[in-house]
């Protein structure tokens, strides 16, 4: 597996979520932790429905800092956990966070890496969470096709991803609507797609998966609370403004933050983030 520790140039790699700025990466590492802690309890219900349980060999492709696998280990302490990611800095955090896991450098576009990884670890479950949104739909289909072809026969693959065209703010917030549109456009310009969630089932089908199941999982302020929603999702929308925002952008940021201050805990007020869990074999 030594060859996996060396960066390789990979065709089709997008520029989305490279996190080259150290301060931004540190903020994002904290956000990933809040995100896993706040969302996992609701995601677990669906993961159990797909057959996730204790004593399995679980591989996460695009594991980041390993926070999601850490949540899984808390509930299923007999799991064997492997994670793979193209960002060596995030993998360093994963190694500190969960020394019990095996953390490997690699890119999902690299079939040789996937083949070696699957043959060595023989996973029962493969998780791909908030990763495919950093690729075009075409690249996501091609990655899923490789995973389907190379994985062990009985291994189930679960992809979890966002669909930002289904965000909801009640009462409406023009500032948050504008920020989320900016974020969708920015990610698209870097080769990603923040609306991929609702198309995952189609992509699974086109990649040859069978026994496909889809669940829409909505994280709203009534389910995860206002503080968690603000800590997990507001930084995503604000990141649309980049490192040197214009005066107009700063006004947008203030208006978005004011919306949360004014509306939190008000009767009838709601913020909702929509995701899809799709699994197949």
- Residue numbers at the binding site for ligand SAM (CB under 6 A): 13, 17, 32, 36, 62-64, 67-68, 85-87, 90, 107-109, 129-131, 134
CB of 202 to ligand SAM, least distance (A): 20
**Cβ-based nearer residue to ligand SAM, 130 or 259:** 130
Question: Do strands 168-170 and 270-280 pair parallel, antiparallel, or not at all (unpaired)?
Answer: antiparallel
CB of 266 to ligand SAM, least distance (A): 30
**Cβ-based nearer residue to ligand SAM, 95 or 264:** 95
Question: Do strands 102-105 and 80-85 pair parallel, antiparallel, or not at all (unpaired)?
Answer: parallel
**Residue number closest to ligand SAM, CB atom:** 64
- Would you tell me how many other CB atoms lie within 10 Å of the CB of residue 180? 22
- Would you tell me how many other CB atoms lie within 10 Å of the CB of residue 175? 19
CB of 221 to ligand SAM, least distance (A): 21
- Would you tell me how many other CB atoms lie within 10 Å of the CB of residue 126? 25
CA–CA–CA angle 12, 13, 14 (5° rounding)? 110
Closest CA to 117 of 78, 150, 72, 153: 150
**Cβ-based nearer residue to ligand SAM, 32 or 234:** 32
**Cβ-based nearer residue to ligand SAM, 52 or 175:** 52
**Cβ-based nearer residue to ligand SAM, 62 or 197:** 62
CB of 25 to ligand SAM, least distance (A): 10
Burial class (CB in 10 A: 0-12, 13-18, 19+), 225: middle
CB of 85 to ligand SAM, least distance (A): 5
């Amino acid at each position: 597996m030594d060859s996996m520790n060396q960066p390789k140039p990979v065709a089709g790699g997008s520029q989305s979520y490279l996190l080259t700025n150290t301060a931004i990466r540190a903020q994002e590492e904290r956000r990933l932790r809040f995100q896993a802690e706040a969302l996992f309890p609701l995601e677990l219900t669906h993961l159990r429905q797909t057959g996730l349980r204790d004593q399995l060999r679980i591989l996460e492709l695009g594991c980041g800092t390993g926070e999601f696998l850490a949540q899984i280990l808390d509930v299923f302490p007999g799991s064997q956990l492997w994670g793979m990611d193209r960002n060596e800095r995030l993998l360093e955090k994963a190694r500190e966070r969960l020394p019990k896991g095996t953390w490997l450098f690699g890119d999902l576009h690299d079939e040789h890496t996937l083949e070696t990884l699957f043959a060595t670890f023989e996973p029962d479950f493969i998780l791909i969470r908030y990763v495919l949104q950093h690729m075009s739909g075409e690249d996501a289909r091609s990655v899923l096709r490789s995973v389907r072809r190379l994985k062990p026969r009985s291994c189930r693959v679960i992809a979890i991803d966002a669909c930002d065209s289904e965000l909801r703010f009640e009462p409406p917030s023009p500032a948050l609507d504008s920020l989320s549109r900016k974020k969708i456009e920015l990610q698209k310009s870097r080769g990603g797609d923040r609306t991929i969630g609702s198309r995952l089932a189609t992509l699974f089908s086109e990649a040859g998966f069978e026994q496909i199941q889809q669940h829409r999982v909505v994280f709203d302020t009534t389910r995860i609370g206002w503080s968690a929603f603000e800590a997990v999702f507001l930084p995503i929308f604000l990141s649309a403004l980049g490192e040197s925002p214009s005066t107009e952008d700063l006004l947008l940021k203030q208006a978005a933050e004011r919306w949360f201050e004014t509306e939190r805990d008000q009767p009838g007020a709601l913020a909702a983030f929509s995701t899809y869990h799709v699994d197949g074999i």
